[in-house]
Structure 1
Amino acid sequence: MRTLTTRRLLASSVLAAALWILVVGVRWAFSQLPGGASQLGTLVPDLVPPSLLWGPVGGWMIVAVLGGALAVTLCHALFTALAARHGAPLVGAWFAAVAAGALVGLAFDVASAWSSVELSGLRGLLVGEFGVSAAAGALWGLVVGWMPGLVARAPAPVPAPADADAAAARADTGAAAPARRPGWLLPAAAVAVVAVVAGGVLADQARTAAIQAEVDAQREIEAQNTFGALPDPNAPGEPVPTAAPASGDLDPQWCTPDKATLLLGEPDAATGHRGLPIRLLNFSEEPCVIEGYPDVAFGDQNQHLLAVTIERGGSFMTQDFGPQRLEVPAGGYAVTSLGWDAASPHGALVTKTIYAAPTAGMERGSWGLGFDLDIVEGSTVAITAWAIDPNPFPSE
């Protein structure tokens, strides 16, 4: 019976680890190719989950891969030694490659799914492609396992003449039994597999941190060139109400939506100060009545109500004549003006939508702005009372 020496056992397992690293390296190299050439990587088994091999190789990724190679070595040696007790070193080492590849692949699958497990418990294992690396490892062992098997099956060196008598004596006494498995091999293999899980988790966390850092850096660059803070879909806030509470019943002659509409004007600016008119057009064939102050609100880039203080009265850019009952002729205009002081929009919640109604209690219409408006969170905006506008479109 052909025996399996410790030297051949180690040589077979080291070869298995070298083949494992080779396949992982080829897979990673294909993933770095530009364009569609990276799809060639699909021809190589995913011994390590693609999520861990994404992007440039970091320190933790190298540690994880080297740890995987060590685990393959120890697991292959353990399984080969167990199988060799029943003879057939070639088959035993081949089977050991399948088992070692599957076990180490499973460890990487667990590491890759760790973040999902933290969020969702064991259900997180059902997310993504858990088990792919374990299956790929088994396939790898099935394809290449014959090579470590040939090393394990290689004949032992011919003993020197001086050792011939001792070898014959061992043969006569039945001492040619298979080599015993070292007692430390099982715990060492178990520790190596656990280390693969830990290294994979750390590599995944490092990769996630690198992605987040890149995203944050890109957002900072965009923020430098963006008016106001970037939109944040997770930002807290409340939607803009469709109307403000009415202060009383509306006069039947009021400029209601079936008689009039609001038009947003163009902003005006002076050093450190801003102004913006809003006009009411009576498009009906009868006069309509308007009185007091309009109802105005502001929406930010997250479509939430912007915290702005509204004050009735004039400002540096506007003049308020006070509330009075006005009759707007058919085809005529009334005007109100917003006034505020300039503010820095950098990183701030800013006005992206203006909501307005002729008076509180009416449904608000809205304008999505096609220009930048530095009414930011915390601004104070003065609003003038409605006044007849005899010249809504003055010639320049």
Structure 2
Amino acid sequence: MRTSISRRLLASSALAAGLWLLFAVGRWLLSRVQGPAAQLARLVPEVVPAGLLWGESGIWLMLALLVGAVSIALVHASLAEVTARGAGMFVPAWFATVAAGAVVGLALDLAVAWDSLGDFGPRGLLVGEFGAAAAAGALWGLGVGWMPGLVARASAPVVTAEGRPASSGIRSRWLVPAASFSVIAVLLSGVAAHAARTAAIEAEVAARQEAEAETTFGALPDPEAPGVPVPEAANVSLTGLDPAWCTSDRAMVLKGEPDAATGHRGMPIRLMNFSDQPCVIEGYPDVAFGDQNQHLLDVTIEHGGSFMAQDPGPQRIEVPAGGYAVTVLGWDAASPHGALVTKTVYAAPTAGMSRGSWPIDLDIVEGSTVAVTAWTLDTAPASSG
């Protein structure tokens, strides 16, 4: 009977691995479909982070998926054996499916967040959607775990020589170490896949920027052009700043993605509180723009709303730990041809604080007017860069 149960467990774990791979590949295929059918991807648990599936990761992505499927099988088998009691394998196999999906998902989450961990330490886990794949993996296991459970279920109980039900225990000593090594392999292959994806995106961005340079987005850089560098901070005193203010040791400014409407442009900027305590912010951010010559671009900043966003007005807000505040820049589209254009955006939570910066091409040209809304709480922040 032990041989029968072991074969059932092997088949159950193989089924769990196949289902995980089916959901991972299926969601990716649905997301590639053009039209309304692409919305079906939202119904499939995201067992593999989108950060691995978006972009070209090549063979590393396929390796990460295969290693993930093998890890699902090994983790499932080891947990099912550890938790099994007697011949009742249905519930242990179901539970093992839930746990395997969560463990492998967490390893993939860590792989995607690896660069952020290196840059920001533990608070780097607050950037992006860390934990989403682990939660989706657990949800996947909860939804499909009954199928491996049915396969693993034994037809008759195993009994001892005294006629009492036997406890299955850990019968295969190699399973737990193998499962542990497989999870580490998932992490390493995920890091490699994410690095390959990042490299592919950077190469694509570089190629696009080179193509844009050939079409002369803005005037060509001129090392002899007059101008002044962008100051690191506005010339404003910060005397009397509230001790609870969102300073650089508590919060960081993150650039959003530009948006466009007919003749108008907009871009959110977010403030993320990465500390474990609330912090406060009030009023308007400090914003400046650098041109292609690394000089301060002559732009008029107006506090208020625009076509792209309404201004809530200056108000004192408390940003919870791990929470976000948001402001929106708005401007009118302009022709960049032959003009001094924005190549870098600078921003600080308030005037007088050190500015962060991001390289980006925007059609904010010399002489433009940019409207800036006041900080307000962002209850549903999008992925920020």
Do both share a fold (TM > 0.5)?
Answer: yes
Distance in 2, matches of 1:171 and 1:8, equals 23
Equivalent in the alignment of 1:137: 137
Correspondences of 1:298-309 after superposition (within 5 Å): 301-302=292-293, 304=295
1:8-47 matched pairs, under 5 angstroms: 8-47=8-47
Partners of 1:179 and 1:82 lie apart in 2 by: 6
**Matched letter for residue 218 of structure 1:** R
Q: After the TM superposition, which segments of 4 or more aligned residues of structure 1 sit over 3 Å from their partners?
A: 1-4, 170-177, 227-232, 237-241, 299-303, 350-353
Q: Do residues 103 (structure 1) and 93 (structure 2) align?
A: no
81-90 vs 173-182, which moves further? 173-182
Amino acid at match of 1:185: L
| Counterpart-to-counterpart distance in 1, 2:220 and 2:30 | 36
Which residue in 2 is equivalent to 1:210? 200
> Where does 1:78-93 land on structure 2 (aligned, <5 Å)?
78-85=78-85, 87-93=87-93
1:119 and 1:368, CA in 2 relative to 1: closer, same or farther beyond 3 A? Answer: closer
Aligned-pair CA distance for 1:34: 2.2
Contact 2:86 2:165 in 1 (8 A): no
Deviation of the 1:352 alpha carbon: 4.6
The answer on whether the counterparts of 2:218 and 2:340 sit within 8 Å (CA) in structure 1 is: no
Deviations 1:24-68 (A, max 9, x none): 111110121124532321110010001111134511111111111
Residue 173 of structure 2 aligns with an amino acid whose one-letter code is G
Shift of 1:221: 1.4
Q: Partner letter of residue 47 of structure 1?
A: V
Residue aligning to 1:360: none
Equivalent residues of 1:4, 1:178 under 8 A apart? no
Residues 1:87 and 1:230: Cα distance change in structure 2 (over 3 Å): farther
Alignment of 1:260-299 (within 5 A): none
Amino acid at match of 2:145: G
Aligned positions of 1:149-228 closer than 5 A: 149-155=149-155, 178=168, 180-226=170-216
Summarize deviations over 1:351-384 as a string: whole Å, max 9, x none: 859xxxxxxxxxxxxx969xxxxxxxxxxxxxxx
What CA distance in whole angstroms lies between the structure 2 residues aligned with 1:368 and 1:179? Answer: 73
Percent identity between the two aligned chains:
58
Shift of residue 303 of structure 1?
5.8
Aligned-partner Cα distance in 1 for 2:340–2:42: 46
Alignment correspondent of 2:379 = none
Q: Is there any run of 5+ residues in structure 1 with no aligned partner, and where? A: 157-166, 242-298, 307-349, 354-366, 370-396
Is the contact between residue 5 and residue 178 of structure 1 (CA under 8 Å) also seen in structure 2? no
- Kindly state the Cα deviation for residue 69 of structure 1 after the two structures are TM-superposed: 0.4
Q: Quickly say closer, same or farther: Cα 1:2–1:59, change in 2 above 3 A.
A: closer
State whether residues 94 and 145 of structure 1, in contact with CA within 8 Å, keep that contact through their aligned partners in structure 2. Answer: yes
Question: What letter corresponds to residue 104 of structure 1 in structure 2?
Answer: V
Aligned to 1:390: none
Q: CA offset at residue 189 of structure 1?
A: 0.5
Q: Per-residue deviation at 1:228?
A: 7.5
Q: Which residue of 2 aligns with 1:114?
A: 114
Residue 66 of structure 1 aligns with which residue? 66
* Distance in 2 of aligned mates of 1:104 and 1:139: 13
Mapped to 2, the partners of 1:368 and 1:106 lie a distance apart of 47
The aligned amino acid for 1:76 is H
Letter in structure 2 aligned against 1:9 = L
Q: 1:151 to 1:230 in 2, by over 3 A?
A: farther
**Quick one: which amino acid aligns to residue 301 of structure 1?**
Q
Take 2:73 and 2:183, find their aligned partners in 1: how far apart are those partners?
A: 11
Structure 2 counterpart of 1:211, one-letter code? I
User: What secondary structure sits across from 1:226 in the alignment?
Assistant: coil
Summarize the Cα distance change of 1:55–1:304 in structure 2 as closer, same or farther, 3 Å threshold: closer
Question: Partners of 1:240 and 1:141 in 2: how far apart?
Answer: 53
Q: CA deviation at 1:102?
A: 0.7
What is the CA-CA distance between 1:199 and the residue it aligns to?
A: 0.8
Task: Name the amino acid aligned to 1:183.
Answer: R
CA distance in 2, matches of 1:206, 1:186: 30
Distance across 1 between alignment mates of 2:12 and 2:295: 66
8 Å CA contact 1:102, 1:135 repeated in 2 = yes
Scaled by the length of structure 1, what TM-score is found? 0.54
Residue 102 (structure 2) pairs with residue 94 (structure 1): no
Name the aligned partner's letter for residue 214 of structure 2.
Q
Paired residue secondary structure (1:5): helix
RMSD: 3.6
Report the structure number with the largest CA radius of gyration: 1
Name 2:6's counterpart in structure 1: 6
Residue correspondence of structure 1 range 356-367 to structure 2 within 5 A:
none
How far 1:171 moved relative to its partner?
A: 5.2
Q: Distance in 1 between matches of 2:128 and 2:136?
A: 15
**Please, what TM-score do these two structures have when normalized by structure 2?**
0.56
| CA 1:300–1:40: 2 relative to 1, 3 Å | closer
Partner of 1:77: 77
Query: Deviations along 1:184-218, whole A, 9 cap, x unmatched?
Result: 11111111001111111111111010001001111
CA distance in structure 1 between the aligned counterparts of 2:27 and 2:41, rounded to whole angstroms? 5
